[in-house]
Structure 1
Amino acid sequence: MLIRRETPADLAAVRAVTIASSYKPHEEEPVEVILRDALQKGENWIPALSLMAEGEDGAIIGHALCTWGRIGTARVPNLSLLGVHYDHRRHGFGTALVHATLAAADALDAPMVVVLGDPDFYGRFGFRPSTDFGIVGEEPAWEHLFQIRTLAAYDPSVQGEFIYPEPFGCI
């Protein structure tokens, strides 16, 4: 397995993995693909945190994409999308992508990474409820899914509402 940055040549493979990892892979263009395309074209996309997981044969198996959100004036990476092809789940690709994303975000001196996702999965990486840090998401009904993983540059004074970048809320 190799975790590496995404390149422009990966676009078709990433789209295929995004479709294969979506909740409705039978749809030609699931909402995850539309969201991914919009996020990657936006000004808040973080190319250094757009990562690929390659299998031993060089095939793209999974991907992670982060965008900049904000809490007050602090820019904070959001693990916006994480996907692993359904034929390769439970083989460590998602775990490797999350670890690599956290390490790369730490190297960028990000104070934390936020995610909206399954607490059982993300808790394994040190993500905790955002309310433990005085941070709330935009949607109160999803509070139990909104989580924070602090990094070396964490500043406890960064508190308040996390604001997602466009196009979240528009798609």
Structure 2
Amino acid sequence: MLIRRELPADVPAVRAVTAAAFAKPDTPVPVEVDVLDGLRDCDGWLPELSFVATRDGEVVGHVVCTRGHVEASPVLALGPLSVHPGHQRRGVGLALVHAALGAGDALGEPLVVLLGSPDYYGRYGFRTSTDFGITPPDPTWGKYFQVRPLTAYDPALRGAFRYAEPFDLA
């Protein structure tokens, strides 16, 4: 498996992997696909933080971090994280998240937020956002809205979190 930055030629494969990863019988195009399409066209898109996992040249996973804000301070928002169902539970997601966290840290970002399973993301050091004084856009998200501080984290960074605009579609 190879983790690398996404290339423009990867977009159709990333879209297909995201659709397969979030497929539901009653939803022809999962909302995550539309959010990802919207993110690519907004100011929050950070191409240096969009990664694909490939096996034998085929895209089997994708993760992206986009620009979010805690009050006026820039931070990262991780997601969507997509792994093709035929490649799940084989370390693809693990490698993608580690790549995104490492790259964000190397770029001097203070923290990463996400909405996801505490059981899954806890192994990467994510904890409930309110432990850090960061409030989610929707208070009902509770323990599912999580934060992972990076090396540049300052505990004074507190307040309401805001995603890039395309996340409002979700």
Q: TM-score, normalising length from structure 2?
A: 0.96
SS class of match (1:45): coil
Aligned to 1:48: 48
CA distance in 1, matches of 2:77, 2:52: 17
Aligned to 1:94: 93
CA distance in 2, matches of 1:101, 1:25: 30
Aligned to 2:7: 7
Q: Which amino acid aligns with 2:17?
A: V
CA distance in 1, matches of 2:62, 2:147: 20
CA contact (8 A) 1:112 1:148 kept: yes
CA distance in 2, matches of 1:47, 1:83: 17
Aligned to 2:139: 140
CA distance in 2, matches of 1:149, 1:27: 31
Q: Measure how far apart 1:23 and its partner are.
A: 3.6
In structure 1, runs of 5+ residues without a counterpart are none
Q: Which amino acid aligns with 2:7?
A: T
Alignment of 1:16 onto 2:16 = yes
Q: TM-score, normalising length from structure 1?
A: 0.95
CA distance in 1, matches of 2:145, 2:25: 25
CA contact (8 A) 1:114 1:146 kept: yes
CA distance in 2, matches of 1:42, 1:15: 17
Q: Which amino acid aligns with 2:8?
A: P
CA contact (8 A) 2:35 2:169 kept: no
Q: Which amino acid aligns with 1:146?
A: F
Query: What is the CA deviation profile of residues 33-84 of structure 1, one whole-angstrom value per residue up to 9, with x for unaligned ones?
Result: 11110011111111111000011x1110000011111012210000021000
Q: CA RMSD in A?
A: 1.3
Q: Number of matched residues?
A: 170
Aligned to 1:32: 32
Query: What is the CA deviation profile of residues 92-116 of structure 1, one whole-angstrom value per residue up to 9, with x for unaligned ones?
Result: 0000000000000001100010010
In structure 2, runs of 5+ residues without a counterpart are none
Q: Measure how far apart 1:86 and its partner are.
A: 0.4
CA distance in 2, matches of 1:155, 1:73: 14
Q: Which amino acid aligns with 2:59?
A: I
Q: Measure how far apart 1:4 and its partner are.
A: 0.4
Structure number having the greater helix percentage: 2
SS class of match (2:151): coil
Aligned to 2:158: 159
Aligned to 1:123: 122
CA contact (8 A) 1:136 1:143 kept: no
Q: Which amino acid aligns with 2:34?
A: I
